[in-house]
Amino acid sequence: MGKARVRTWVWHFDSPVEKIWPVLADTARFNEAAQLPKHKVEEIPQADGSTRYYGHARMGPFKLSWEELPVNWVDNQWFRHCRHFSHGPLKSLCATLKFFPEDTGCRGEYTIEVEPANWLGRTILALGFLRNVGKTFAPLADNARHFARGQRETEFDHKPPELTPGAKQRVPALVTKIEATPHGHGLAQKLADYVLTRQEVDLWTIRPLKLARKWGVLDRHAIEVCLEAVKQGLLALRWDLLCPRCQVGKKSVLALGQLPTGAHCSSCNIDYDREYSKNVELAFYPATSIRPLESGEYCLFGPMSTPHIKLHLTLEPGEKRDVAIDLPHGNYRLRTLEPAGEETAQWDTGGFPSVVADGTTVVAGEPSLTGTVSLNNKSERKLTFIVEERAWMRDALTADRATALQAFRDLFNEDTLRPGDNVDIDYITIMFTDLKGSTALYERIGDPRAYHLVREHYAIIGKTVREYDGAVVKTIGDAVMGVFTNPENALRCGIQLHTDFAEFNSTSGKEPVTIKVGFHVGRCIAVSLNNRLDYYGTAANKAARLQNQSVGGDIVISPELAADPNVASLLVNFSPREEQAELKGYSEPIRFLRITAEELTAKRGPLPNPPPSQERK
């Protein structure tokens, strides 16, 4: 053994803690930039249902094995990460980073505590181990300083791996191929540069919604370029079944049809179900032929691996602790890392609820003092307390949204659920359209001309539905079924369709085309039928019935759609007429709203405040 060595480095930043914390508390990114080796993780289930984690790695000539203890942290304040070694020159190593606000920014204090296990460990420490750590970490702190100021694009300096000669030759050709499709949007080179130059931690899960924010482009454009990149061979895709607690994919498959109905998260000690519109994510990663990613972890646990967790603290048996933390009002989950119950707390006023755990249950107790969270471990063992925001990841491209995009259906129409499987979708907008007077049209101009006109009508609808982030599910005779995950986009699409057909009628020199449109929003089920994803249930049935109430040139919508806040804001530009009618399959008359053809014609033109996900060229 030997005496533990401790060294603290003090870094001053001219940015607030809130800008520095996400960079330096991203321990996986930090460790990769510091060129620390990846390690394999071994999970050992315990009799009480919890899990212990062990890491194994090789660093130079040394084979290392250690137990990963739960990282402790308080959001935007500090974290502490310790490893207890069973093999190698060290007995233990702990890293602690604390932040202190200052007038001109903040101060960070990074402390390393290391204890040797044997003569080799003592020799390593004597030869300047901590001095070398300081030399490695100082440039990273400087990188973070400049990143927080907005003076650099990436968090840390990083040397990407060398491409194979074959990959170097393929990438420019792939970029050209992607841009030759309708899905490139001038983003293919940006995407290729991202794949080739970013740290590995950015590439295990490439999220197009995050790229859209980073690049300042439409969500749909970022999604479409990623989908096309899979088709051309720059990227690959997978479906992740995310844990509702840690929000990490605990089961991954390459096709929708391989998705299980649930999974187990050993980190959170829970079994959870598949929820298509909440925890099934379409994720992307580099194609192996372009940039293979090595398996392993740079850091298994860390504050920025689960940024929705605001407090993660281990308390001794019987310990009580008041933790100073400034949390925003909102919906929180209170739990422990060890198997037990959980409590949901909607915190709007007063002190934050105290968290009381006895090893079996977790309850929200009396309000804590203002600006603190009170923790109480009433059990006879250590418990790690967790306070997490219940907001789901904003950057996750969930399956309901991905499969409701036209580009996904065009490029991956074979990616469907397995036969007999079906999934509930909580909230989706269904559109039905139909061609008014189609029977008379065929009689008037003959089958060949009418058929070609109907095909043109399909193309107009398909183009507009895609531009409003929807997808055409199927055509049924002269009718079209479309889906949207954004109700406002759906209604805007319906309005735009009438404008598009008015323009077509005035310029084509062909028979005028008038469509009937109906919308409803609600729950439905997604199934695979005829080798494609289809939608069934009340929402689909009611949308079809409402379309039958359309007289052509107008839009019929359900009260449920009109009640959506964004749809309601859009409807103030119109004077929808309330009506009711007896619909097939319903015992009572059904209410609906109609935007008349006369009003749509009179108010034709750009609508105010289009959502950022939608554009017209």
pLDDT tens digits, one per residue of 19-74: 999 999 999 999 999 999 899 999 898 888 788 999 999 888 889 999 999 999 99
Smallest Cα–Cα separation from 89: which of 121, 131, 115, 127?
A: 121
Residue 151 has pLDDT above 60, yes or no: yes
pLDDT mean across residues, the chain: 92
Q: Are residues 590 and 444 part of one domain? A: yes
Q: Are residues 139 and 169 part of one domain? A: no
How many C-beta atoms lie closer than 10 Å to residue 30's C-beta? Answer: 26
What pLDDT, in 10s, does the model give residues 340-388? 889 999 999 999 999 999 999 999 999 999 999 999 999 999 999 999 9
**Can you tell me which residue has the tokens 């930090």?**
30
Q: Are residues 85 and 219 part of one domain? A: no
Q: Give the CATH number for residue 449.
A: 3.30.70.1230
Q: Are residues 421 and 554 part of one domain? A: yes
Q: Are residues 585 and 493 part of one domain? A: yes
Of all helices (H) and strands (E), which one includes residue 314? Answer: strand 309-315
Contact in structure between 451 and 473 (CB atoms under 8 Å): no
Q: Are residues 103 and 175 part of one domain? A: no
Q: Are residues 35 and 123 part of one domain? A: yes
Q: Are residues 595 and 528 part of one domain? A: yes
Query: Whole-model pTM?
Result: 0.88
CA distances from 346 to 192, 245, 350, 391 (A): 43, 17, 11, 12
Could you give the 3-state DSSP secondary structure of residue 548?
Answer: helix
- Residue 258 DSSP code: G
What pLDDT, in 10s, does the model give residues 394-408? 789 999 999 999 999
Residue 404 lies in a domain: no
- Residue 385: HSE in the Cβ half-sphere, 13 Å Cα cutoff: 30
Contact in structure between 543 and 562 (CB atoms under 8 Å): no
Residue 101 lies in a domain: yes
- Residue 96 DSSP code: E
Separation between Cα atoms, residue 100 and residue 78, nearest integer Å:
9
Sign of CA pseudo-dihedral 595, 472, 559, 515: positive
Smallest Cα–Cα separation from 423: which of 402, 440, 452?
A: 402
Torsion from C-alpha of 409, 570, 212, 172, nearest 10 degrees: 50
Smallest Cα–Cα separation from 130: which of 303, 33, 304, 3?
A: 3
Contact in structure between 558 and 494 (CB atoms under 8 Å): no
Q: Are residues 510 and 598 part of one domain? A: yes
Domain that holds residue 310: 303-389
Q: Are residues 118 and 199 part of one domain? A: no
Separation between Cα atoms, residue 417 and residue 167, nearest integer Å:
33
Residue 255 lies in a domain: yes
